[in-house]
């Protein structure tokens, strides 16, 4: 009997314990869910097959336009003569046209004297007038201005007459002057490499003394544009600085244009300086090509 009471007590205890356990709230172990970190480029690649364009740092905040073609000024490589400027025509093609307006000059030292013995306000006004006349523009004052050029800087003044004896001796003086200028430029390292070689050759070879100097100056003047002719206005670098000192320079240079076509050939240049034509060859193109491929001295 006592055994049965003990057994019933044990069973009752177990039942009570299970009941309490069921009613007691359970504590669940918490786990932190880790989400994989996705790279922006990988996300974009999943959403869109197109690759993402990564802009350089300097492009931040700048609007980028696809298929934009950079524009280049067609006039950059166009060289126009004196009194002309490059402009685009209706087809956007570059062309040289007469300059419309010259800067207004008020200083007397800007004035120039032309071969027509007229004083102009500036060199621009001389070249502009010549351009208008050559293009049959209504602003051309006189047809003779087709060949107008500058004689010297400053207002026109009366020049002494070049005597016959002075003109006869002028070719020799001109040859000596050209060589001396060439030698001075070589000493100051202001000649291009090929011309520097010509000057050294003239120093050591007296027969080349004058011919090399004459060839150097002709090729040096024939550059606007290089067409194997020296026009009257291309002679300006020689004529203008010497007019005040050498009153024979203008008639001498005019005499070099023997056929009066307003341009001087290499043969006319040789005859004018009283040199043998065969001794002076037209090597300007060769000299220019040589200078382009030779480093500076």
Delimiting residues of CATH 1.10.238.10 domain(s) in the chain: 164-293
The residue behind tokens 């046209």 is 97
- Supply the pTM of this predicted model: 0.57
Delimiting residues of CATH 3.30.60.30 domain(s) in the chain: 84-153
Q: pLDDT-based confidence at 57, cuts 50/70/90?
A: very low
CATH topology of domain 84-153: Wheat Germ Agglutinin (Isolectin 2); domain 1 (3.30.60)
CB-based burial, 263-276: b 16+ in 10 Å, e otherwise: bbbbebbbbbbebe
Residue with more model confidence, 277 or 103: 103
Residue 139 in contact with residue 132, Cβ under 8 Å? yes
Q: pLDDT-based confidence at 46, cuts 50/70/90?
A: very low
Among 102, 116, 121, smallest CA distance to 147 is for 116
pLDDT at residue 6 is higher than 70: no
Q: pLDDT-based confidence at 133, cuts 50/70/90?
A: very high
Per-residue pLDDT averaged across 82-90, rounded?
A: 88
Digit-coded pLDDT (tens) for 232-285: 778 878 887 788 788 899 889 989 998 888 889 988 999 999 998 777 776 666
DSSP letter, residue 33: P
Beta pairing partners, 264: 230
Q: Which tokens in the block code for residue 297?
A: 């001295």
Digit-coded pLDDT (tens) for 174-190: 999 999 999 999 999 99
Domain spanning 164-293, CATH architecture = Orthogonal Bundle (1.10)
pLDDT at residue 61 is higher than 50: no
Q: Which tokens in the block code for residue 182?
A: 């060439």
């Amino acid at each position: 009997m006592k055994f049965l009471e003990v057994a019933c007590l044990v069973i009752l205890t177990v039942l009570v314990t299970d009941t309490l356990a069921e009613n007691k709230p359970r504590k669940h172990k918490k786990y932190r869910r880790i989400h994989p970190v996705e790279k922006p480029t990988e996300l974009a690649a999943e959403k869109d097959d197109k690759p993402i364009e990564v802009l350089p740092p300097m492009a931040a905040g700048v609007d980028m336009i696809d298929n934009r073609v950079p524009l280049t000024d067609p006039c950059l490589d166009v060289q126009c003569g004196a009194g002309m400027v490059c402009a685009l025509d209706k087809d956007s093609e570059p062309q040289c046209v007469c300059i419309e307006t010259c800067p207004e000059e008020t200083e007397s030292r800007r004035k120039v004297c032309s071969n027509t013995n007229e004083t102009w306000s500036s060199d621009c006004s001389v070249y502009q007038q010549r351009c208008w006349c050559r293009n049959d523009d209504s602003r051309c004052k006189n047809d003779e201005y087709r060949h107008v050029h500058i004689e010297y800087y400053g207002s026109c003044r009366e020049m002494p007459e070049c005597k016959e004896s002075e003109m006869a001796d002028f070719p020799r003086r001109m040859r000596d002057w050209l060589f001396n200028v060439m030698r001075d430029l070589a000493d100051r390292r202001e000649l291009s490499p090929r011309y520097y070689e010509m000057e050294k050759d003239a120093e050591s070879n007296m027969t080349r003394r004058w011919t090399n100097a004459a060839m150097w100056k002709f090729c040096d003047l024939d550059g606007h544009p290089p067409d194997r002719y020296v026009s009257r206005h291309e002679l300006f670098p020689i004529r203008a600085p010497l007019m005040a000192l050498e009153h024979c320079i203008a008639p001498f240079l005019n005499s070099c244009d023997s056929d009066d076509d307003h341009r001087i050939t290499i043969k006319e240049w040789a005859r004018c300086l009283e040199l043998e034509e065969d001794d002076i060859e037209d090597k300007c193109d060769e000299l220019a090509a040589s200078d382009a491929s030779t480093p500076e001295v």
